[in-house]
């Protein structure tokens, strides 16, 4: 394989592995149900089926490791700060697109009252998100 083949193989297998670990963490979450504000997470997989799925995922991870060895792929270190920053960037974009003027642009005008009710909450969320970004910057620089 040439360098481009190796690079794309590395990127794609990394993406697959990360998603497999995310699936594993959901399956290993030891609770029946979780309730949040706008959604609930229902554990609707039996323990036997969960174990079979986890076994298969572990086999997939082992296969990825074999491919890694075969093609001398290099493990990549992903910091918690970088990972969390990626999540926060998605939240930032979503908040920006949730401002009343953005919603009105894409989905039709909102009433003035609805805009006045929504805007302060979005502004508070942005400010709180900025606080999280600041804490991550402090962590990044060891402050």
- The tens digit of pLDDT for each residue in 23-43 reads 998 888 766 677 889 988 888
Q: Any idea which of 28-32, 56-60, 93-97 has the lowest mean pLDDT?
A: 28-32
- Please check whether residue 6 is in contact with residue 71, taking contact to mean a CB–CB distance below 8 angstroms: yes
Q: What is the domain extent for residue 42?
A: 3-70
Same domain, 56 and 84: no
Q: Does a structural domain hold residue 52?
A: yes
Q: Are residues 9 and 64 in the same domain?
A: yes
Give how far Cα 1 sits from Cα of 4, 9, 10, 68, 135, Å. 8, 10, 12, 13, 42
Closest CA to 85 of 135, 127, 43: 135
Residue percentage of the chain with pLDDT more than 90: 81
Instruction: Please give the model's pTM, rounded to 2 decimal places.
Output: 0.78
Domain shared by 27 and 63, yes or no:
yes
- Would you say residue 66 lies in a domain? yes
Residues contacting 47, CB < 8 A, separation 6+: none
Which residue in 14, 137, 140, 139 sits closest to 74, CA to CA?
A: 14
């Amino acid at each position: 394989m040439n360098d481009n083949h190796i690079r794309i193989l590395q990127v794609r297998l990394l993406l697959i592995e990360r998603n497999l670990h995310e699936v594993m963490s959901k399956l290993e979450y030891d609770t029946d149900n979780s309730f949040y504000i706008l959604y609930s997470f229902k554990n609707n997989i039996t323990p036997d089926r969960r174990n079979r799925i986890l076994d298969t995922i572990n086999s997939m991870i082992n296969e990825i490791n074999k491919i890694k060895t075969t093609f001398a792929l290099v493990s990549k270190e992903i910091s918690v700060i970088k990972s969390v920053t990626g999540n926060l960037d998605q939240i930032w974009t979503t908040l920006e697109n949730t401002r009343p003027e953005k919603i009105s642009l894409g989905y039709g005008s909102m009433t003035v009252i609805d805009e006045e009710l929504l805007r302060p909450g979005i502004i508070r969320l942005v400010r709180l998100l900025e606080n999280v970004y600041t804490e991550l910057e402090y962590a990044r620089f060891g402050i």
